[in-house]
Amino acid sequence: MSVKSTLEDFNRMRLQFNNLKIVSAVERFLGQESTGGFLLFGAAVLAMIIANSPLSAQYFDFLHIEAGINVGDFHLEMSLAHWINDGLMALFFLLIGLEIKRELMVGELSSPAKAAFPAIGALGGMLVPAGIYLAINMADGGKAHGFGIPMATDIAFALGFLMLLGKRVPLALKVFLVSLAVIDDLGAILIIAVAYSSNLDWGSLGMAGVVVAGLIMLNAGGVKKLTPYLALGLILWFFVFESGIHATIAGVLLALTIPVRQKISSKEFVDTCNLELEAFSGAESRRKNVLLNSEQQDAVEKIGAAYEHVQNPLLRLEHALHPISAFFIMPVFALANAGVAIGGDIEMVQPITLGIMAGLLIGKPVGIIGLTWLISKIGWIAKPATCQWNHIIGAGLLAGVGFTMSIFITGLAFTDVGSIDSAKLAIVGTSLVAGIIGVLFLLKQPATDTCTLEPEKPTKH
């Protein structure tokens, strides 16, 4: 390859940096998330099969194996199930935090006009299911504690259903569902931090605050390398864990401090590459064997450094975590948490299960559709131009797919095995029903392959 053609390749790269469209980024995100959704469902089915097979005892015993870290006087020991839910899931929450920050800064939630419609939908999709659950369970304070379970939407699982429809639905609808789920996740995080944390250790909480201050100082000081952030993130996880706030919140706090801006601009990157490629080519005549000479090696290292500096730290970490989350963390979580032995203390007709089923299957679509329609009629928000109201109804139905976050909150809300297992079965069954109903409803709508993310002009009344 000639130096000229290589320079042309870098110029094309510059254009790609300067003209990156949010639609293409969303398409890549949707593809990976939907694939992860199918794998998540498969892991949940496998967990259910194992939990009701001759291997059931070994399955549950394995999850209760104690494992930990012992260094001198320092001891940290938990069951494998707790390591998954408190440790591994912290990485999942780190990814959620990165997605929230990206969407708020440069994505579909970066302006009031873009964020208004999905934000109102998410608000309705949280308040109405919680209200329905509380109305059914208010008589029992312990059961009422599960109000957060039907408030969550599983983006991977929901997108898995939506992607079955291909181009029959506009990309704007998929973006709406992603944006709604991102805001939904933010709401779930706040609920976990406030409603499902207790017996706070103020000393550990203070130390966590010191670590967060250190992370903020790194960001303010222009540090772009991820290593110091991740190192402090481990320390932050420990202090949050010790404080009584759920440890996964540490992942979100860490995400909010990860810098977005790259160290050098796209132009500086291209200029550096052009200069060093010319130096590399000029030194070729002084090369004596197959090994690069010192000038060429120096040029390559400078291009490598420029390559690292031009990347956005937030996107770099997010892209690294996406496959880990989709293809490892979430399936492992499902394997560890979705396995329920049918029988025993399970009771499917009781206030907890009825509240979950009604909240997800009825509350989610009613809250999302009802509040967006009402506020849009007032003229304060407008739906995406290429989405019909039937599309929004379909998204509302699919938002009833709770799964990962709902199961996660179940483990925080209840302590008795009967309530937990009954709630899990209600979540899995209802999520499957909600997904099927949503797909069947959207299949009846006219196919479309057009896409615009611009909202309609609201008409004030």
Is residue 461 in some structural domain?
no
Is residue 13 in some structural domain?
yes
**Are the C-beta atoms of residues 244 and 296 closer than 8 Å to each other?**
no
Radius of gyration of the chain (CA): 25
pLDDT of residue 456: 56
Q: In whole angstroms, what is the distance from residue 78 CA to residue 67 CA?
A: 6
Is residue 207 in some structural domain?
no
More confident residue, 77 or 237: 237
Strand partners, 74: 71
Is residue 276 in some structural domain?
no
Which residue from 376, 373, 375 is spatially nearest to 395, judged by alpha carbons? Answer: 373
User: Lowest mean pLDDT: which of 72-76, 259-263, 286-290, 424-428?
Assistant: 72-76
Mean pLDDT of 300-318: 88
How do strand 66-71 and strand 74-79 relate by DSSP bridges? antiparallel
pLDDT of residue 262: 84
User: Lowest mean pLDDT: which of 113-122, 331-340, 415-424, 440-449?
Assistant: 440-449
Angle between helices 249-257 and 89-105 (to 10 degrees): 40
For 366-386, what is each residue's pLDDT tens digit?
999 999 999 999 988 888 777
For 119-166, what is each residue's pLDDT tens digit?
999 999 999 999 999 999 988 777 888 999 999 888 777 877 877 777
Range of the domain at 17: 3-197+246-262+311-443
For 156-181, what is each residue's pLDDT tens digit?
778 778 777 777 777 778 888 888 88
What tokens does 458 get? 């609201």
- By percentage, how much of the chain surpasses pLDDT 70? 89
What are the C-alpha distances in Å from 400 to residues 151, 182, 343, 422? 9, 15, 26, 18
Is residue 353 in some structural domain?
yes
Mean pLDDT of 406-417: 90
Instruction: Provide the number of structural domains found in the chain.
Output: 1
Mean pLDDT of 189-203: 84
What are the C-alpha distances in Å from 32 to residues 22, 27, 204, 402? 16, 9, 37, 19
> Domain with 173 in it: what CATH number?
1.20.1530.10
pLDDT of residue 33: 57
What are the C-alpha distances in Å from 109 to residues 103, 156, 179, 214, 259? 5, 19, 7, 28, 18
Q: Give me the chain's average pLDDT, please.
A: 84
pTM of the model: 0.78
Q: What share of the chain is helix, strand, coil (3-state, %, to 5)?
A: 75, 5, 25
Mean pLDDT of 333-361: 89
Q: Is the pLDDT of residue 433 over 60?
A: yes
Is residue 390 in some structural domain?
yes
**Are the C-beta atoms of residues 192 and 103 closer than 8 Å to each other?**
no
pLDDT of residue 12: 55
Q: What is the largest CA-CA distance in the chain?
A: 85
Q: In whole angstroms, what is the distance from residue 48 CA to residue 434 CA?
A: 19
For 1-60, what is each residue's pLDDT tens digit?
454 554 455 455 544 544 444 445 555 555 555 567 778 888 888 999 999 999 999 999
Mean pLDDT of 337-344: 82
Place of tokens 């099969």: 49
| pLDDT tier at 450, thresholds 50, 70, 90 | very low
pLDDT of residue 447: 66
Q: In whole angstroms, what is the distance from residue 38 CA to residue 458 CA?
A: 37
> What is the identity of the amino acid at 276?
E
> What is the identity of the amino acid at 326?
A
Is residue 157 in some structural domain?
yes
Most confident of 164-168, 180-184, 226-230: 226-230
Looking at residue 148, the DSSP 8-state letter turns out to be G
Q: In whole angstroms, what is the distance from residue 89 CA to residue 189 CA?
A: 12
pLDDT of residue 147: 93
Is residue 449 in some structural domain?
no
Task: Give one DSSP letter per residue of 217-249, joined into a string.
Answer: HHHHTT---HHHHHHHHHHHHHHHHHHTS-TTH
